[in-house]
Amino acid sequence: MKKIIKMILIGIETAVLFVAVGGLTTAITKTLYSDILIENFKSKAVYNEEASSSMLKVYVVPSAEERPTVERIGKDYYPGNEGDILITLKSELEIPFVHEIVSFFAGGHAALVLGDYEDEIDKVDSMYTVESSGLNDDLNLADTYSKTYWKEYKYPVIGLRVRMTEEERTKVVARGLALAGDPYNYSFLFDTENKSYCSDLVSKAFDSIGVNLNKDSFTTSIYDLLVSGETYITYYRYFDNNGVEYVYYLDSK
């Protein structure tokens, strides 16, 4: 009996080690690939001196995009347009060591940019997002928010886009809005039909048009949205140590 128990324990230890090594390898691969995608996007950018200032540096990536990738209000650039995805790879958990671990394995936060919509409860447009956060002080339910949060976010922000038709975009946004009110899913694995976490909400919205943003079929990390092969970068913004803002975005016709 002791021998059998010992063999079972060895088997469990081996399985745990296998999962841990596999998880670490996957995380490293996704992190490296994410860095490559970001640097490749930035390398194509052209400095726009006319739009820049001492505290804002604007870089435009030439493209044939038909839809704007940013919304400019005065001198401010707000990321994303209807159906676009906003992500950050840095966790909001400002706890030493925990911040680094969560950022490395899962990433930070994600949101779906909305479009023009109005009913008895909501009135939103492309200056709003729908997102799910587990760090609110009150009820942690998916809800709609202003994009101002993403413009001022202290960590680098990335805008993503999926190629789709207008009809598909409408379906994605409608599905995202329908998920507003979902409780935050702290398990990330169970009760996914009734609860959502940030990147899961985005993934569910695109499932409605048959687009899979989670190719490894495990929990949907922020990195999955970036490296899925279904998205491409349209926007990148960060602040340097002196508070200077750097904005890179795909140009449009």
Q: Does pLDDT of 9 surpass 50? A: no
pLDDT band at 96 (very low <50, low <70, confident <90, very high): confident
Per-residue pLDDT tens digits for 189-240: 887 888 999 999 999 999 999 999 998 877 899 999 999 999 999 999 999 9
pLDDT range class, residue 1, cuts 50, 70, 90: low
Pick the closest to residue 155 from 108, 199, 105 (CA basis).
108
Q: What is the pTM of this model?
A: 0.89
Joined together, the tokens standing for residue 125 give 């447009």
How far are the Cα atoms of 17, 35, 123, 157 from residue 144, in angstroms, in the given order?
Answer: 40, 29, 10, 18
* Residue 5 pLDDT > 60: no
Q: For the chain, how are helix, strand and coil distributed in percent, rounded to 5? A: 35, 25, 40
User: Which ranges constitute the DSSP H helices of 62-160?
Assistant: 98-105, 148-152
* β-pair type (56-65, 70-73): unpaired
69-95 confidence digits (pLDDT tens): 999 998 899 999 999 999 999 998 888
> Closest by alpha carbon to 141, among 150, 149, 132?
132
- Identify the pLDDT of residue 23: 54
Local structure of residue 74 (DSSP, 8 states):
T
3-class secondary structure, 203: helix
* Mean pLDDT, the chain, integer: 88
Query: Which candidate, 152, 222, 145, places its Cα nearest to that of 177?
Result: 145
Whether the predicted pLDDT of 19 surpasses 60:
no
| 13 pLDDT tier (thresholds 50, 70, 90) | very low
Neighbours of 247 (CB within 10 A): 23
Name 7's Cβ contacts closer than 8 Å, sequence gap at least 6: none
